[in-house]
Amino acid sequence: MLKSLKQLFEENEGKRAIGSFNVHCLEMLPAMLEGAKELNVPIIIQTSPGTAAYIGFDLLVSSIETLAERLDVDVCLHMDHCKDIEVLKEAIHAGYSSVMYDGSSLSLDENIQNTRTVVEYANAKNVSVEGEVGTIGGAEEGVVVSEDEAIYTKPEDAYRFVRETGVNALAVAIGTTHGQYKSKAKINFALLEELSANMPDVGMVLHGGTGVSDEDMRRCVSLGMKKVNVGTELNKSYIEEVNRTFAEATPLTSLRKLLLPANNRIKDIVIEKSALFQLM
- 21 contacts 32 by C-beta, under 8 angstroms: yes
Alpha carbon distance 127, 142 (integer Å):
27
CA distance 162 to 42: 25
Q: Distance from first CA to last CA of the chain, Å, rounded?
A: 26
80 is catalytic: yes
Distance CA 66, CA 72 (A): 10
Let me know the angle formed at the C-alpha of 258 by 257 and 263, rounded to the nearest 5 degrees. Answer: 90
Task: Report yes or no: 142 and 133 within 8 Å, Cβ to Cβ.
Answer: no
Instruction: Report how many helices (DSSP H) and strands (DSSP E) the chain contains, helices first.
Output: 11, 11
Under 8 Å between Cβ of 19 and 44:
yes
> Based on the number of CB atoms within 10 Å of its own CB, is 85 exposed (0-12), middle (13-18) or buried (19 or more)?
middle
Of 58, 72, 74, 80, the catalytic one is: 80
State which H helix or E strand residue 176 sits in: none
Q: Smallest Cα–Cα separation from 241: which of 214, 221, 259, 223?
A: 259
> Quick one: how far is CA 178 from the chain centroid?
11
Give me the helix-helix angle, 29-39 and 57-71, nearest 10°.
30
User: Which residues are known catalytic residues?
Assistant: 80
